Amino acid sequence: MWPECAGLVGALLLLQGIVPLVQDFFHLCNRALGDQVLEIRNESRCSPAALSMAQLNGGDHQKWRLDSKSRLVSKLGLEGPEGFCEALCLDVAGARDERGSAVIAYRQNEKDNQQWQLEAVATSSTIPGRCRVVKVISQMAGGRALTIESGDQMCRDAALEVHYLARWSDEAGLVRLQRVVWNGGTPKGIIMERLGKQLGKGTGADNKACVLQDIRNGDMSYTAAGAASSLMPVAHVLRRLHRDGYAFNDLHDGNILCCLDNNSYKVIDLGSVTLTGHWVSQLGTDYDGRWSTNRDWRAFGVAFLGLVCGGRQLNLWDLVGTNACTKMHTGAQCPWSAPVPAGDPCVLPADVSSLLVDSGMAWTHTERLNIVSALVAMFAPCINDDDICKKLGVLAGGADH
């Protein structure tokens, strides 16, 4: 369901601490929204957890503090049940240093996408208690400020997702749109078909229930042919998007879900779909629309590897999204850019090659050759959608359609 409250993204003034709090905790609110404060939605102790703006009620899920490592830490995770020790911090999702990036609550880490600076803007005798007006600035290279996303933008995003789901509804690898709840001409809820477990942990905790966890626990397994066959519908969705001039942009094994019959997979969450040339304004024409389509196939390759290599998961962001090897026009590093291919285009990334060697899977010589051939196509500097689907079809034991 699409929330009616605003989401959080990237540059507006925030008011820190609308009432004095003990232990250096404070509230965060936007001056334009009155007494509404930033909270962890539904008091969720999960990671990741969604954020929203809501009326002040004094709950721990609405209290924050700035720790010694410049992280904005929620009180909710710090004073939970006995034995609960995970701290939830304000986190730029996916470490995407770009305008419009989502902000969530996520378990603490040492990365700069959880580090913030409170920049004082003004003080006034009319502001109650110890409150002050600040900008909350990310310490990532782009130095972007936290803001409240407008309701209009959320409506546009929801309408776009409905449009995309309808446009590509004939693709078997895309979740089925069943009903849209409309209110005043804008979608307020999107109801989709029921699916099973997600393929991997995605952006969740390491112990997230998923298919790859079941494989690691010995509860299920995939042959190379079975993995290729089950993921073929997802490959066809990517090929269709790319043919139409679009890129998925946010593919990972957390938004690839198993069908209830366990025989195939479908993708969900088209909220990040853009035209393939979307990044040219930031990365320049030398790093053109191929970046988006390359990223889609690299993420697909990581999911495929998890199925064929006994449930082992490579770091998605190391392979598709956090190698700061290119710069934006401002000169700042672009940490979400895909690694620039170097050397022989027929050579797999070192992490991929090592996993294939260390996995200990009992593939035949032909299976191994076909797996490597498909992966080389997925990680190539210049990808060819038809070639990838064809090689997956060969691995699955039949021709691609």
Q: Which pLDDT value is given to residue 50? A: 78
Q: Is 58 domain-assigned?
A: yes
* Final residue belonging to a domain, choices 114, 148, 182: 148
Q: Are residues 237 and 119 in the same domain?
A: no
CB 19 within 8 A of CB 35: no
Q: Are residues 103 and 251 in the same domain?
A: no
Are 87 and 228 members of one domain?
Answer: no
Q: Answer whether residue 166 is part of any domain.
A: no
Spatial CA neighbour of 308 closest among 184, 205, 216, 224: 224
**Structural domain includes residue 79:** yes
Q: Are residues 220 and 92 in the same domain?
A: no
Q: Are residues 376 and 257 in the same domain?
A: yes
What is the C-alpha to C-alpha distance for residues 40 and 148, in angstroms, rounded to an integer? Answer: 15
Buried b (16+ CB within 10 A) or exposed e, 186-201: ebeebebeebeebbbb
Q: Is residue 92 part of a domain?
A: yes
Is residue 111 domain-shared with residue 201, that is, in the same domain?
no
Overall domain count for the chain:
2
136 and 220 both lie in a single domain: no
Rg (CA), the chain: 22
The Cα 63–Cα 183 span in angstroms is 33
What pLDDT is recorded for position 336? 46
- In CATH, what number is assigned to the domain containing residue 309? 1.10.510.10
Q: What was the pLDDT predicted at 28?
A: 85
Gap between the Cα atoms of 12 and 145, Å rounded: 7
Looking at residue 221, its pLDDT comes to: 92
Query: Closest by alpha carbon to 78, among 70, 69, 66, 87?
Result: 87
pLDDT of residue 212: 95
Per-residue pLDDT tens listing for the chain (401 residues)? 222 233 333 333 344 433 344 457 888 877 666 677 888 876 766 667 778 778 888 888 889 988 889 999 998 875 445 555 678 899 988 787 776 677 888 888 888 999 998 877 655 554 555 566 777 888 888 788 887 665 555 566 677 777 888 889 899 999 988 777 665 555 555 667 889 999 998 877 788 899 999 999 999 999 999 999 999 999 999 999 999 999 888 888 989 999 998 789 999 988 788 888 776 665 555 555 556 788 899 899 999 999 999 998 887 766 765 444 455 555 555 544 455 455 555 678 888 888 998 888 889 999 999 999 999 999 887 789 999 999 999 999 865 54
CB 196 within 8 A of CB 258: yes
**Containing domain of residue 142, as a range?**
8-148
User: What's the confidence (pLDDT) of residue 324?
Assistant: 42
Which CATH number characterizes residue 33's domain?
A: 2.80.10.50
3-state secondary structure (DSSP) of residue 350 = helix
In a domain, 169, yes or no: no
Indicate the helix (H) or strand (E) that contains 151. Answer: helix 151-167
Residues 25 and 85 in one domain: yes
Q: State whether 141 and 200 are in the same domain.
A: no
Q: What is the pLDDT of residue 243?
A: 94
Q: Could you give the CA distance from residue 150 to residue 186 in angstroms, rounded to a whole number? A: 14
SS3 239: helix
Indicate if 269 and 125 belong to the same structural domain: no
Distance CA 357, CA 337 (A): 27
Whether 131 and 238 map to the same domain: the answer is: no
Domain co-membership, 101 together with 211:
no
Distance in Å from the first CA to the final CA of the chain: 34
